């Protein structure tokens, strides 16, 4: 969960984007990023420091990709106002430039379409009404 949720402040749509970013970093690194956090304080500190410590988690070849690193950092920014405003913005302003880069380098696959479909479904999601 995003730092503001962990700190029991207001949940925002950007809070879910931070969670998405944490999962993305774990997928890219093949490691559990917060495995050593034993307390809420440890977890909060780790989440706030993660953008500046990506190089400790991501492989060097991925760290050289400035578009991917900027996308990840914007997803996981400790400040929700510095994250993407919505899942659609994350797609258009973050994932799409990375996808274009892959296409130009002839590294694209079927995944960008799957990601686009998932992001559209995510953007259309609404919270169930409280009973």
Q: Are 22 and 76 in contact (CB under 8 A)?
A: yes
The predicted-structure confidence for 116-130, as pLDDT tens digits, reads as follows 666 677 666 666 666
The predicted-structure confidence for 30-62, as pLDDT tens digits, reads as follows 999 999 999 999 999 999 999 999 999 999 988
> Residue-wise over 101-126: b if at least 16 C-beta within 10 A, else e?
ebeeeeeeeeebeeeeeebeebeeee
Distance CA(72)–CA(83), nearest Å, equals 10
13 sits in the region (left: phi over 0; alpha: psi -120 to 50; else beta) called alpha
């Amino acid at each position: 969960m995003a730092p503001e949720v962990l700190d029991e402040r207001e949940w925002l749509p950007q809070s879910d984007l931070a969670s998405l970013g944490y999962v993305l970093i774990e997928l890219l690194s093949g490691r559990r990023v917060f495995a050593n956090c034993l307390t809420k304080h440890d977890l909060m500190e780790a989440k706030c420091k993660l953008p500046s410590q990506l190089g400790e988690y991501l492989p060097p070849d991925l760290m050289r990709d400035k578009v991917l690193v900027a996308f990840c950092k914007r997803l996981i920014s400790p400040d929700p106002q510095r994250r993407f405003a919505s899942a659609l913005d994350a797609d258009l302003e973050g994932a799409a430039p990375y996808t274009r880069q892959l296409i130009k380098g002839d590294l694209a696959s079927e995944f960008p379409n799957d990601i686009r479909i998932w992001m559209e479904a995510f953007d259309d999601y609404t919270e169930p009404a409280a009973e």
